[in-house]
């Protein structure tokens, strides 16, 4: 049993000049065989492993990671947590995740810095206002805490927003989800990793999967850069690299990988205490506890595995935000980065069994996976353990693309793509 983190452990370690902190997780070598293997130690993969061990008693499992844990999109997003999607199936999974975030720091004994500071989506055209009203009605019917607010309320919540009625895209109102907010993205990966490791899950970093071994219609193991591992259940949770892994198993995916960028400014005094998304002009912004403005926008339009985006996409995002927040026009940007996101045709995720027995896939979160991590891990673990879709995961099956049961969040969505 690992010692718990607490104010007393901080005080005790301060006495020793912080030289005696235990490692948060082990670095084991892979065993010859596991009951299940998760490929990809990002938030979703680690959460899956955690819930497999905690809820289903599967502790003889491993999480395999090519790089370092939490080094992909989990460490590259803008940390926004919300659940205001349009379709019932989406609301169910994203709201499950958002509500799990509320108690996650206590459950994992790891500070996620979940900050339900409120989230607003600006309406800057008549069409957007109408669409957001529709979303808010759908959300309220589903039991979400949300409401539409007027331009004067927008100004009250976020005084730095330009509410000039004469500008190109005037603020006509906003959708407001008071329980939305931000979290500490790295801590989510680290907390789940520590929690899973404490229950005996092997997290194996710097270990690249090079092949998936099949015996006819079922999986029997995988080849890695650290040798062959036998297993009867494989969960592929590799986001932008999901197609490359699934190609090894001979399963074709409805996914295209693209680059999504984010950037942060130099730290400044507190100016914005909620998340603001401006989808018409295509940019969103929040302020971190360090004072940096965290900014995101749209994807580069072409297939891309390079983890570095183009300047034109950045320029587009920043131009939009300067229009909305004139005071940031002279702010310098500190750093910028890109992550490879896995886009599906309907912009909804895939949590599914496959035609190969024992092969499961959790991907397609595209530009908005961080917010879903706890819910995704919970229902995907349940799906893997019981070899049938969890009721919340069921609508997100791979078969929906064949059957035409799309969960369309691309046209009607509240999100910026």
Partner 1 sequence: MITVNCPVCGAEGDETDFHYGGQAHVRRPATTDAANVTDEEQRDYLFIRHNPKGLHFERWRCDRGCGKWFHAARDTVSLDFKAYYGITELPPDEIIAQAKGPWADYFKERMKAKK
Burial of 417 (0-12, 13-18, 19+ CB in 10 A): middle
The smaller minimum CB distance to partner 1, of residues 173 and 364, is found at 364
Binding mask 347-386 for partner 1 (x = CB under 8 A): ----------------------------------------
Q: How far is the CB of 303 from partner 1 (least distance, A)?
A: 5
Is 312 near partner 1 (CB under 8 A)?
yes
- With contact defined as beta carbons under 8 Å apart, do 75 and 185 qualify? yes
Question: For tokens 């909305």, what's the residue?
Answer: 324
Q: Which of 401, 408, 410, 417 binds partner 1 (CB under 8 A)?
A: 401
Q: How far is the CB of 255 from partner 1 (least distance, A)?
A: 6
Rounded to 10 deg, the angle between the 88-108 and 126-141 helix axes is 70
Coil/strand/helix, residue 51: helix
Is 69 near partner 1 (CB under 8 A)?
no
Distance CA 242, CA 352 (A): 13
- Phi and psi (nearest 5°) for 33? -150, 145
Q: How far is the CB of 406 from partner 1 (least distance, A)?
A: 9
Q: How far is the CB of 240 from partner 1 (least distance, A)?
A: 9
- With contact defined as beta carbons under 8 Å apart, do 108 and 191 qualify? yes
Rounded to 10 deg, the angle between the 373-386 and 185-198 helix axes is 30
Which uninterrupted H or E stretch holds 173? strand 173-177
- 117: which DSSP letter? -
Rounded to 10 deg, the angle between the 185-198 and 43-56 helix axes is 30
The smaller minimum CB distance to partner 1, of residues 78 and 257, is found at 257
Is 301 near partner 1 (CB under 8 A)?
yes
Is 169 near partner 1 (CB under 8 A)?
no
- With contact defined as beta carbons under 8 Å apart, do 84 and 177 qualify? yes
Q: For partner 1, how many residues bind (rule: CB under 8 A)? A: 25
The smaller minimum CB distance to partner 1, of residues 55 and 303, is found at 303
The smaller minimum CB distance to partner 1, of residues 178 and 345, is found at 345
Coil/strand/helix, residue 157: helix
Q: Which of 162, 280, 288, 310 binds partner 1 (CB under 8 A)?
A: 310
The smaller minimum CB distance to partner 1, of residues 250 and 267, is found at 250
CA angle 206, 384, 257 (to 5 degrees): 55
Binding mask 232-261 for partner 1 (x = CB under 8 A): ---------x-xx--x----xxxxxx----
The smaller minimum CB distance to partner 1, of residues 269 and 402, is found at 402
Which uninterrupted H or E stretch holds 264? strand 255-265
Residues 185-204 that bind partner 1 (CB under 8 A): none
Is 311 near partner 1 (CB under 8 A)?
yes
Is 303 near partner 1 (CB under 8 A)?
yes
Is 402 near partner 1 (CB under 8 A)?
yes
Is 225 near partner 1 (CB under 8 A)?
no
Coil/strand/helix, residue 416: coil
Closest by CA position to 78, among listed 325, 384, 415: 415
* Interface residues toward partner 1, by CB under 8 A: 241, 243-244, 247, 252-257, 300-306, 310-312, 344-345, 401-403
């Amino acid at each position: 049993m690992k010692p718990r983190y607490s104010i007393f452990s901080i005080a005790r370690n301060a006495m020793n000049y912080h030289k005696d902190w235990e490692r948060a997780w082990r670095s084991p070598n892979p065993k010859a065989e596991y009951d299940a293997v998760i490929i990809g130690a990002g938030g979703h993969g680690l959460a899956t492993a955690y819930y497999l061990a905690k809820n289903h008693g599967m502790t003889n499992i491993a999480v395999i990671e090519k790089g370092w844990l939490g080094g992909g999109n989990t460490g590259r997003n803008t940390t926004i947590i919300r659940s205001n999607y349009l379709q019932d199936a989406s609301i169910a999974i994203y709201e499950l995740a958002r509500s799990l975030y509320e108690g996650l720091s206590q459950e994992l004994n790891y500070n996620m810095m979940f900050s339900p500071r409120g989230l607003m989506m600006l309406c800057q055209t008549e069409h957007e206002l109408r669409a957001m009203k529709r979303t808010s009605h759908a959300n309220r019917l589903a039991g979400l805490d949300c409401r539409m607010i007027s331009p004067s309320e927008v100004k009250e919540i976020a005084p730095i927003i330009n509410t000039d009625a004469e500008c190109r895209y005037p603020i006509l109102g906003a959708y407001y989800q008071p329980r939305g907010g931000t979290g500490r993205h790295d801590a989510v990966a680290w907390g789940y990793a520590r929690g899973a490791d404490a229950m005996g899950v092997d997290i194996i970093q710097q270990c690249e999967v090079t092949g998936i071994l099949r015996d006819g219609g079922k999986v029997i193991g995988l080849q890695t850069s650290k040798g062959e591992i036998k297993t009867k259940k494989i969960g592929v949770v590799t986001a932008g690299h999901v197609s490359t892994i699934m190609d090894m198993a001979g399963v074709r995916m409805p996914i295209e990988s693209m680059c999504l960028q984010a950037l942060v400014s130099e730290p400044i005094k507190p100016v914005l205490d909620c998340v603001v998304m401006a989808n018409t002009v295509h940019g969103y912004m929040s302020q971190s506890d360090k004072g940096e403005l965290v900014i995101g926008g749209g994807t580069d339009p072409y297939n891309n595995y390079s983890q570095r985006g183009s300047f034109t996409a950045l320029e587009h995002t920043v131009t939009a935000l300067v229009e909305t927040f004139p005071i940031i026009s002279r702010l310098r940007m500190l750093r910028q980065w890109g992550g490879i996101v896995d886009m599906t045709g309907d912009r909804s995720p895939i949590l599914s069994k496959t035609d190969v027995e024992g092969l499961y896939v959790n991907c397609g979160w595209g530009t908005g996976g961080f917010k879903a991590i706890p819910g995704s891990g919970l229902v995907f673990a349940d799906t893997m353990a019981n070899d049938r879709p969890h009721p919340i995961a069921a609508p997100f099956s791979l078969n929906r693309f064949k059957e035409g049961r799309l969960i369309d969040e691309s046209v009607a969505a509240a999100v910026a793509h």
